[in-house]
Structure 1
Amino acid sequence: MTDSSNDHSNHAPADRTIADRALALAGLLQALGQVRRIAETGQANVEVLATSLDSVFRIDAASPAEVYGGTAALRPGLTLLREYFTSRLKDEQLPRLALAVIQLERRFVADPAMAQRVRDGITAQQGAAEHQGSTHPEVMTALGDLYAETLSHLRPRVLVQGNPHYLGQSAVVAEVRAALLAAVRSAVLWRQLGGSLFDLLLRRRQLVNAVEQLLR
């Protein structure tokens, strides 16, 4: 779950680097927004979820924007990021989930064997995703199983709260796990772009400005 945008960022101007990091954070929140929606209602916004799941298969994208199929596809995530920075985020679970995923990603990249296993699992589903779409139930089940067999064994575990009625259904659990895999993909990208938790403190104003510009 790596990509060539890491090299791209090394030569980008500072403002471009911040904008790219904002995109990765937006990708993270967009995926987790769908995790929360699925866990609470049993259903995702298919178009929004597709952007997140498609990003899982764009391992060698030329730029951060291309990971998500263009900046416009990240508008829901950018909106969530702006709400977070302006203390208007209604879902208090999202920041907690985001922090857990960022911590999980650190454990993940420190385990080369697991990283290779995840990459192989994604590659194995590439053809099905291209033919049937990344939100096809069989593709999401495969991605969910991949998450369950790999990342779910790392600590800290990402604990998703929601409606027990839906979280007791295997198809819903698979969809949640697939969206979590997409969230980890964005966390990997954010780190590759030089992102760190210090950004949220020391570069907050720059990130807010970048988000506003991207939304415009």
Structure 2
Amino acid sequence: MNSQEKQQSIALSAIFQAAELVATLAKTGTVDKDALRPMVESILILNPQTTEDIYGGSWDHQTNLALGRRIAKQALGKDRNSVNPDTLRYALSLVHLEGKLSKETDMLSTIGQKISQIEQKKAHYDDDVLHENMLASISGMYQDTLSKLAFRIQVQGDSRFLQQAPIANQVRSILMAGIRAAMLWRQLGGKRWHLIFKRKALLNALEARH
């Protein structure tokens, strides 16, 4: 396993964690806060020293991305029939949407400015990224930018939950975190065809204890 595959496995775990969280939240109205927090926090980390730092550092990223790592291993391995089809669809949609975003330089600039503004607000809410006002701000950023692109991610679930503003804000915040992960995946050289033709190498990286 080379270093690039190790880094890619982190980004891939984050993409699948975002996808699984959206699928669960849309259907049940609840989500594991321990899995949600590092994803939302990753949006506000603009100048990390390493890939691991985006998700809690060299030790904590293992725990913080445990859900996504498990789902990614299932999706790339022999157990892929056990993965929620919505999760797979969201994961691929995140990669596709980030590809569209990467060509929109003005939108990327706007997102960067908005992230800086949101990061500065965090101190007002005891540095809690899951405060409803923080999630509302991230959700608003998603609506002002990514929702304007021709391709949109269609979230399917229970309308009783999705019509509630706090839950809708969580969904968009997770999608934003998924876009962050997909951007990282692309920056690390990840491509959609790798999910088919580099499956074994990625699986080995996902299974290794970093």
TM-score, structure 1 normalization: 0.89
Alignment-derived partner of residue 24 in structure 1: 11
Alignment-derived partner of residue 203 in structure 1: 198
Mapped partners of 1:99, 1:34: distance in 2:
14
- Over the residues paired in the alignment, what is the CA RMSD in angstroms? 1.4
Q: Percentage identity across aligned positions?
A: 26
Alignment-derived partner of residue 107 in structure 1: 100
Alignment-derived partner of residue 128 in structure 2: 133
Q: Is the 1:104–1:155 contact (alpha carbons within 8 Å) kept by the matching residues of 2? A: no
Q: Is the 2:74–2:82 contact (alpha carbons within 8 Å) kept by the matching residues of 1? A: yes
Alignment-derived partner of residue 150 in structure 2: 155
Alignment-derived partner of residue 7 in structure 1: none
Mapped partners of 1:170, 1:43: distance in 2:
13
Alignment-derived partner of residue 163 in structure 2: 168
Mapped partners of 2:162, 2:37: distance in 1:
21
Mapped partners of 2:121, 2:20: distance in 1:
25
Give the deviation of 1:129 after TM superposition: 2.9
Give the deviation of 1:89 after TM superposition: 3.4
Give the deviation of 1:194 after TM superposition: 0.5
Alignment-derived partner of residue 22 in structure 2: 35
Stretches of structure 1 lacking an aligned partner (at least 5 in a row) = 1-13
Mapped partners of 2:27, 2:170: distance in 1:
12
Alignment-derived partner of residue 68 in structure 2: 77
Mapped partners of 1:76, 1:88: distance in 2:
17
Mapped partners of 2:150, 2:188: distance in 1:
24
Give the deviation of 1:32 after TM superposition: 1.7
Q: Is the 1:37–1:43 contact (alpha carbons within 8 Å) kept by the matching residues of 2? A: yes
TM-score, structure 2 normalization: 0.92
Give the deviation of 1:197 after TM superposition: 0.9
Alignment-derived partner of residue 48 in structure 1: 35
